[in-house]
């Protein structure tokens, strides 16, 4: 299911081909009918700036701007090549999804992939008492200042070798 953001254009591409799988090019936007249904199920094609354009090599895309949250239904119809339509669902959210995406990336980083620990300090028992932990988006960048997706400070306290009173990791 495609995802979109409220009041931002949403687009999805589709391919038009003949019965032999050869791409059909040059179809005019007016030869398609685009039906857009809001989350309540009301056909709102005229009020959400729906349009279809050719991308080339038999590929086309539809674009519309959703004006409410929820699951939208879109059906592009061509009388000759797909009179039944090419349909899709679009889940529309109220805000930018980049915060969610970044959270997922950071969470994946926390499962110990592409991590670098530096600025280490040890206590009198030889236990780590402080350090910086950085998580990277790729292995090539580990240890550098590039592509850091999260930085944390580790602090701990211990009363004897190998025994911690506490250990905490805090996002910087």
Tens-place pLDDT, residues 156-171: 888 887 778 888 888 8
What CATH number did the domain enclosing 40 receive? 2.60.40.10
Range of the domain at 82: 2-93
On whether both 85 and 116 belong to a single domain, the answer is no
More confident position, 4 or 102: 4
Given 62, 93, 124, which residue is the final one in a domain?
A: 93
Domain tally for the chain? 2
* Confidence band for 105, pLDDT divided at 50, 70 and 90: low
The residue among 172, 149, 168 whose CA lies nearest residue 157 is: 168
If you average pLDDT over residues 46-70, what whole number do you get? 94
Per-residue confidence (pLDDT) for residue 10, from 0 to 100? 94
Contact 138, 147 (CB under 8 A): yes
On whether both 11 and 87 belong to a single domain, the answer is yes
On whether both 89 and 107 belong to a single domain, the answer is no
On whether both 11 and 81 belong to a single domain, the answer is yes
On whether both 16 and 81 belong to a single domain, the answer is yes
């Amino acid at each position: 299911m495609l995802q979109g953001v409220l009041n931002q254009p949403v687009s999805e591409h589709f391919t038009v081909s003949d019965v032999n799988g050869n791409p059909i090019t040059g179809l005019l936007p007016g030869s398609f009918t685009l039906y857009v249904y809001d989350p309540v199920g009301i056909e709102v094609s005229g009020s959400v700036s729906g349009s279809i354009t050719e991308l080339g090599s038999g590929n086309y895309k539809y674009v519309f701007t959703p004006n409410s949250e929820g699951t939208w239904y879109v059906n592009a119809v061509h009388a000759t090549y797909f009179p039944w339509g090419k349909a899709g669902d679009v889940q529309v959210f109220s805000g930018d999804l980049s915060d969610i995406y970044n959270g997922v990336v950071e969470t994946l980083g926390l499962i110990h992939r592409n991590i670098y620990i530096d600025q280490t300090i040890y206590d009198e028992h030889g236990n780590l008492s402080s350090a910086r932990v950085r998580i990277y988006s790729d292995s090539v960048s580990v240890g550098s200042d590039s592509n850091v997706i999260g930085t944390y400070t580790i602090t701990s306290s211990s009363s004897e070798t190998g025994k911690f009173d506490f250990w905490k990791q805090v996002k910087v």
